[in-house]
Structure formats: C-alpha cells, structure tokens
Structure 1
Amino acid sequence: MMIHGEYKKVHPGLHEIKTMQLGLLSDHRKFIEDQFQETEHAMLKKHKELHTIYEELLNMCYKPDVEMLQELGDLLFRSKSVQLRMPVPVNPVYHAIPIPGLMSRCNKFRVKISFHNEISNHDIMMFKNVQSLKLGCDLQDTYFSPGRSKYFAAWGITGLQTSVKQYWEVDVDKSLDWAVGMCRRGPSLMNGPAILKKGVFLLLHQKENNFNTLLTTSPPTFLYSEKPLERVGVHVDFDCGSVSFVNVAKSSLIWRYPDNSFRCPLTPFYCTEHTLS
C-alpha cells in the first residue's frame, strides 16, 4: 500500500515499473512463506525424533543397570546426531526495491537540521524496550536495570517549522543501535517505555549477535525491510501529518505513517550507541 501511494506521485509512464516491483515483492513473499512451511515441517519431524528418544530414556530408567549402560551409548549417539541437524531459522527480510525518482523528490525539501539539545554517555531504555517486545513482555510492568551500553541522543526545537514538507538525513553506518525520527518531546524518550508513548514517530534498529531488528513506533511495529546502510532519510509532511523513512543507498521506502498521524508540533530526534563494542 505504501509503494502504491508513492507511485501515485510520479509520472504515469512508470506504471510498468511499479507492476514489476510489486510482482517481485509478491514472489519474495511466496519464497518466504515456502521457507516457513519447510522449516515448520522440519521442526515437527525433529520434535517427533526428540520425543521418541525422550520416551526411550524414560523406559530405560526401569531396566537393570547393566542393560541400561549397554543401550545408553547408542541412544546418546542418536541424540547428538538429531541435535546437530536442527532446522535453520527463517530470516523473513524483504530486499529493498528502488523507487525511481524517490530521492529527487525528497531532496526538493531537504533542510539542515540543528540539534540544539544533546546528551552523551546516557543510559537510554528504548533499546531494552525492543528486547522486551521481542520476548512478549509487558513494557509497563518491566523493570529496567542500567545497562552497559551508553548512548548519544540529540533533538531539535519543538514546533520549529519553516516549510510544509521537510527532508533530512542521518548517518547510521557506524552504530549497532540507533533511532531516528520525530517526536513531541525529546527529553521524554530518555527513560521508561519510550516506544509506547504517543507522539513518537521513530525508526529503531538494534543488532544483537548476528540478527538485525528494525521497527517503528506509534504503535510498535516490527518491520521486515532490508537493513538500511550508511544513511536514513526522514521526510515529514506537516500538511498531511505523516512521517516517512527512506533507505537512501537503495532509494527505497522503508515505512510511511498514514496521513493524519500527528497534528501537534514535533521535533527531530536522533539517538545512537555511544561506542561500538
């Protein structure tokens, strides 16, 4: 739906490209669905194998020691063999598809953002919020202990608006965890369940081990778009009340909030991990 909306703003001659891109997305969705079905089948098969070994181990407990020891070696070997061939998790990430003319349209509204407020070496809880969401925890009832990672955060002046549309970019290539977007009050994001607060329109990225998590707020929504590299663009339409995030390197749309998502004054916000581990 977001891609349909973007193509409504461009020349009608790009209709064939739009049809091709939507077809690619459909094919990719089918590929991911097939992967999920194959993994589900493999997990069910693995479950049956492990359950069989479990029942054999229970029955073995009632046998004489000598007989149990004779059978135990073969059973342990089978158990290790089953565990070595575990199903590989599916990575349901859609490849970024370039939209012709997207960057040229955004750059027409490029502005220089001044972050007048900055804090450094601060313990910000929003990235722990992401971990809790992935685990299905209730953020309102979760206790957040101070973490080892420290962050740099900056925000502008609330309500500063020089044009109906604005576009700006942020370099995100040198940080594992980052957040960028617009919010009602910058300091309010420092503590507590920030990603549940109203008036917060952020794109967040968190890297844990080898897995990248990308999500938006208002409400918290996990995205399966390709991780943006180098720079992320933020396009704000104050007239429509919408915020969009752009993968600059791929000239593709990551996410667009629907019209009338906000009516109150907003300020630019940026947060990044202070140092790479």
Structure 2
Amino acid sequence: MKAGLFIPCYVDQFYPQVAIATLQLLEKLGVEVVYPPNQTCCGQPMANSGFQHLTKGCDELFVKNFANLDYIICPSGSCTLHIKEHLHHDRHEATATAIRSNIYELTEFMTDILKVEKLDASFPHKVSMHQSCHGQRGLKISQMSELVAEPFSKPGKLLQMVKGIELVELSRPDECCGFGGSFCVFEEAVSAKMGKDRVADHINHGAEFITSADMSCLMHMEGILKRQKSKVQVKHIAEILNASL
C-alpha cells in the first residue's frame, strides 16, 4: 500500500512534530509513505474567505503532487474536507475526482482502511478529546450528539487502545471551539469567547491534555491556555497514538 502524506501548511510551519508523529505512526502500521516535497497550501483559507475562484494554482499543484497514489492521508479534518469537496482541475478532472475519493483524515484512514484494532502506545495521563466541527459534521468521524442515533467516535476508539490513558468526559462533547479559520480573524471577540468556554469545559473536568484530530482547533485553544497560564497542554492525536511504550 502506497500512500501520500499531505501536511497542512500551518502544521509544517508551527507544529512539525505532528507531521513527524503521523509519518512514524503510519510506518509502524506498515504503510509505505510518500511525501511530495513541493506541496503547499491546499487553498482552504482563500475558499473560506470567499475566494474559491483564486485557488486554481493550489488545485493544480495538489493534483500534480498527489496523482497516482492509492491513498492520501492528512492529519487535519478541515484540510481533508476541503480537498474532498472543492478540488478540481480543468485539464485533469478525472485525476482530481480520484484524489477526492482517496483522501482520508488520519483517524478515518486508520479505522476505515487499515482497520486498526491494537496499538503499541502508552500515554498515562488524563486526556480530554475535542471533536472538531469539520471532522464531525463534514467527514462524519464521530456522531453528533443532537441526533437520536448510535454514538461512535473513530478518534475515541483509537485513543481507547492507548495503554494508561484516562479519557475525560466533557459536559458538551461536540461544541465548537470558535476557531473556524478566518472566522477567528473576522469575528475575534466571538471566537475568543467560544474558545474560553470550550477550554473551561476541559479544565473543569480535570484534563491534563486536550487532544484532537485538528491541530488548528488545538492551536486556538493553546493560545487561550497560555494566556490563562494554565498547565493544561494540547497534543495532536497522532502524537498520543505514536507515544512509545
């Protein structure tokens, strides 16, 4: 199995340890990973701001980088969803269509494609999970609490395989953190208040670490935690699933 590793630009620039953990985790699981070195932004920030028509260069580069791969894996629900729903190419639309079908968020890939049932990982800490809106409502990697349906969580299932971990239940398990990409710039007061409320739920339940499949949400909450001088830390789910015994 050959899979391309798509690393979002903000992860590459600010959280390279998440990219490294993702690579190491996939290799431990027997995946042959290819990393196209010329990859850059997928175009999501422009599209979210109403400039989808300006992402043609991003789309063409993405298709060039990730054509002819069995799968494409990304440690970010929002970037994955953007590619799934918005990637197009004027001259190579068939390739773009194949890519839209073959791209997976990391935990989605591990549960749906690799069907992981056991992990050699240990993280003896109290951990609460933030379920990002893109992952939950876009990619359907967990059930929405307002639906009368059987609950499930692909990230939660994987975290339960980690030795020593104590998963903390939240009062509002699928509430938005307020980041929302460009939303946190255009509506910074609303975004900050939503983030503070979200962080308080994690803190009030005794979490030592907050984890998520989206580093962008964690980045937003990390800024609030640091301003509050809190000892609670954020850690991408790939880092926890890759934590060696």
- What TM-score results when the alignment is normalised by the length of structure 1? 0.25
More strand by percentage: 1
- What TM-score results when the alignment is normalised by the length of structure 2? 0.27
In our comparison, the structure showing a higher alpha carbon Rg is 1
More helix by percentage: 2
